[in-house]
A = this chain, B = another copy of it.
Amino acid sequence: MLKNFEKPKSEDKDALKAEIKELKERLKMQQQLIRDAKLPVLVLVEGWAAAGKGSLINEWISEIDPRFYNVVSPVVLPEKEERYPFLYQYAKSIPENGKIMFMDSGWMEGAVRKYLRRDITKDQYKARIRSVNEFERQLRDAGYLVLKIFVHISKEEQFRRISALREDPATEWRVTEDDLWQHREYDKFLETYNQFMEKTEEAAKWHIMDGSRRKMSVRDSLKLLVKKIDKALEEGKYNGEPFEEDFPLLSMPKLAEVDLSPTIEDEEYKKQLKKLQKRLSELHNIIYRKKIPVILCYEGWDAAGKGGNIRRVAYPLDPRGFDVMPIASPLPHELARQYLWRFWIRLPRTGHVAIFDRTWYGRVMVERLEGFCTENDWKRAYNEINEFERQLTDWGAVVLKFWIHIDPETQLARFTDRQNTPEKQWKITEEDWRNRDKWPQYEVAVDEMLEKTSTENAPWFIIESNDKKYARIRTLEIIVDALERACEEQLERGLV
């Protein structure tokens, strides 16, 4: 709880200085250990305007090697100018393994300020608090050391500091309208900060520093950093246990139960395709203007017809308003961060469509089966993904997920055709044949995935694709239908 600190007993200045020096030296030494242990460290620094967050960070970094840390200061944009989900700018900045990132104001400021400004509703604010807990837990479970510090000063102290800044022409410009507003509303902020901190200690505790005693807070915060890093290094990289959260799941059939016989006549296909594409084109205009983000996820068997399906969906879209994201194996700099990072950075802006050709579900399919992550990792992922997708739909996104489905016989026929047709040979590799051998294992994984991640807000659709044309029409129908509804609902709901 934030309260005015008691006047501490005065300390010997030289002793304090020596202590700080020694702690800086230790932090400097830890850097190498952090690097060797590939430990990612995220230090969030929140606090009052003029409390001295920046200069605290400056003290910490003064001795450490600039190659191993990074300071980030996200901007709090007015809600109507935000083009990305709430956590986006924090999620995209997370450090890679072996590095420290200091964040000067982050998700606490981003949520509290907007709530008090009434940029967001109470419900939206609550959703943000929940997503903060999810975000911090996901980082912790992926082995991140997340350290949260709040730099506290009293209203009187803030008054003195803001006045001093304003009196000096060289620093006057640093005091913003927002800061003055915070000062006027100090009590309301105090209450809300307290609530926020109380509600966001599930995965990482808050540590409060007395901003009015500069040297002491430098010492205390350095002590905290050094201690927590030592502890993290000693305990080794944490690998979070899976656990079950309650999501509104839709009931899904097992793949083996799906009837793959539906087909469509050529004439009917052409007619429907034209009609649906025309409507999709119109809807793209509307979602662009209404700033609804759309995220289409494609997964499916090799040779199921994902590519052709995506092309038919993309064709009527204005190329300025959509992107296809082909997802391959993660690159080294992607592997060095929490696994959802590479998807966070690929999210569309509001009003845009992102088509993911393969997705974050690789975690519970190929990464699970090939042992590219631990059992804890993929088991945890069902929840983590549900949370991630809820954060997207809370933001106002339409999230649709397609499993493009065929049976093994159809796959064999298509593989053989590719093998025997010179201009298609590049589409078939040894790996495809190897994956085919693992069909039964994949089927188990896919069934489990569909069962555990088809939520009301981000549903899965199994698309019968033995007849590719039928599959395209089905997919287009589902997209058009969902966008129609989103365009109607949006006024009621408002963007989160």
List residues of chain A with CB under 8 Å of any chain B CB: 29, 32, 35-36, 54, 57-58, 61-68, 70-71, 73, 102, 104, 170-171, 173-174, 282, 285, 289, 307, 310-311, 314-315, 318-320, 322-324, 326, 331-333, 355, 357, 423, 426
Contacts and interface: CB of A to CB of B under 8 A. Distances in A.
Contacts of A29: 423
A307 B65 contact: yes
A320 B70 CA distance: 10
Q: Give the interface centre of A35, A62, A318, A333 by most chain B CB atoms within 10 Å.
A: A318
Oligomeric state, in copies: 2
30 contacts: A29-B423, A35-B426, A54-B320, A57-B319, A58-B315, A58-B318, A58-B319, A61-B319, A62-B311, A65-B307, A65-B311, A66-B307, A66-B314, A66-B357, A67-B307, A67-B326, A67-B357, A70-B324, A71-B319, A71-B322, A71-B323, A102-B319, A104-B319, A170-B282, A170-B285, A171-B285, A173-B289, A174-B285, A331-B331, A331-B333
Nearest to A328: B67
A146 to B, nearest CB: 19
Given A54-B320, A68-B326, A104-B320, 19 more contacts: A36-B426, A54-B319, A57-B319, A58-B319, A62-B315, A66-B307, A66-B311, A66-B314, A66-B324, A67-B307, A67-B324, A67-B357, A70-B324, A71-B322, A73-B319, A102-B319, A170-B282, A174-B285, A333-B333
A332 B318 CA distance: 31
A289 B170 CA distance: 10
Given A170-B285, A314-B61, A332-B331, A66 B355 contact: yes
A35 B429 CA distance: 15
Nearest to A75: B320
Given A311-B66, A333-B331, A355-B66, A71 B320 contact: yes
B70 A323 contact: yes
Contacts of A62: 311, 315
A269 B331 CA distance: 45
Instruction: Indicate the member of A54, A57, A282, A319 with the most B CB atoms within 10 Å.
Output: A319
A282 B169 CA distance: 12
A147 B61 CA distance: 47
Nearest to A102: B319
A331 to B, nearest CB: 6
A221 B68 CA distance: 49
A310 B73 contact: no
A282 B174 CA distance: 13
A318 B233 CA distance: 29
Contacts of A67: 307, 324, 326, 357
B311 A63 contact: yes
Contacts of A104: 319-320
Nearest to A321: B73
Contacts of A102: 319
A480 B195 CA distance: 45
A36 B425 CA distance: 13
A35 B326 CA distance: 14
Nearest to A355: B66
A197 B331 CA distance: 39
Contacts of A36: 426
A102 B32 CA distance: 44
Nearest to A29: B423
A311 B63 CA distance: 7
Nearest to A424: B32
Nearest to A324: B66
A104 to B, nearest CB: 6
